[in-house]
Amino acid sequence: MVDSLLPADALKGVRLAISVSESADLPRLGLLDSHLRMALGEVTRCVIVSGGSLTYGGNLDPSGYAPFLVHELSRYSRRDRPLRLCLAWSEHRKLTLSRIQQQRTELGLFGELVCLAIDGTPVDAAAGRQEVPPTPADNDTVQRSLTGLRRYMSTESRGRVLMGGRREGYAGVIPGLLEEALIALDHGQPLYLAGGFGGITADIARRLNVDGGHWLPSIEQVQWTDATQAAFQKLEQIHRAAEWTGPNNGLSTEENRRLARTHRASEVAAFVSLGLGRRFAATAPP
Residue-wise pLDDT tens digits, 168-186: 999 999 999 999 999 999 9
Separation CA 105–CA 120 (nearest Å): 23
pLDDT tens sequence across 70-128: 888 888 878 899 999 999 999 999 999 999 999 999 898 899 999 999 999 999 999 99
Confidence of residue 222 (pLDDT cuts 50, 70, 90): confident
Q: Cα–Cα–Cα angle for 98, 80, 72, nearest 5°? A: 75
Separation of alpha carbons 233 and 14, rounded Å: 31
| CB atoms near residue 264 (< 10 Å) | 15
pLDDT of residue 283: 52
Q: Cα(274)–Cα(277) distance, rounded to whole angstroms?
A: 5
Q: With b meaning 16 or more CB within 10 Å and e meaning fewer, what string describes 37-60?
A: bbbbbbbbbbbbbbbbbbbbbbbb
Spatial strand order of the sheet with 111-115 comes to 111-115, 83-87, 53-57, 15-21, 159-164, 191-194
φ/ψ of residue 136, rounded to 5: -55, 145
Tell me the pLDDT of the chain averaged across its residues: 92
pLDDT in tens, 124-172: 999 999 999 998 899 999 999 999 999 999 999 999 999 999 999 999 9
Taking CA 225 as the corner, what is the angle to CA 219 and CA 226, rounded to the nearest 5 degrees?
A: 130
Phi-psi region of 93 (alpha: psi -120 to 50; beta: other; left: phi over 0): alpha
Q: How far apart are CA 179 and CA 149, in angstroms?
A: 11
Domain range summary for the chain, segments of one domain joined by +: 15-276
> What's the CATH class of domain 15-276?
alpha beta
β-strand pairing of 191-194 with 83-87: unpaired
CA distance 95 to 191: 32
- pLDDT for the residue numbered 220: 64
What is the SS3 assignment for 142? helix
Q: Is the pLDDT confidence value at 1 over 80?
A: no
Residue 84: how many CA atoms within 13 Å on its side-chain side? 22
Q: Enter the pTM of the model.
A: 0.94
pLDDT exceeds cutoff 60 at 284: no
Calpha distance 100→97 (Å, rounded): 5
Instruction: Say if residues 72 and 41 touch (Cβ distance below 8 Å).
Output: yes
Does the pLDDT of residue 218 top 80, yes or no? Answer: no
Give CA–CA dist 52/38, Å, rounded: 19
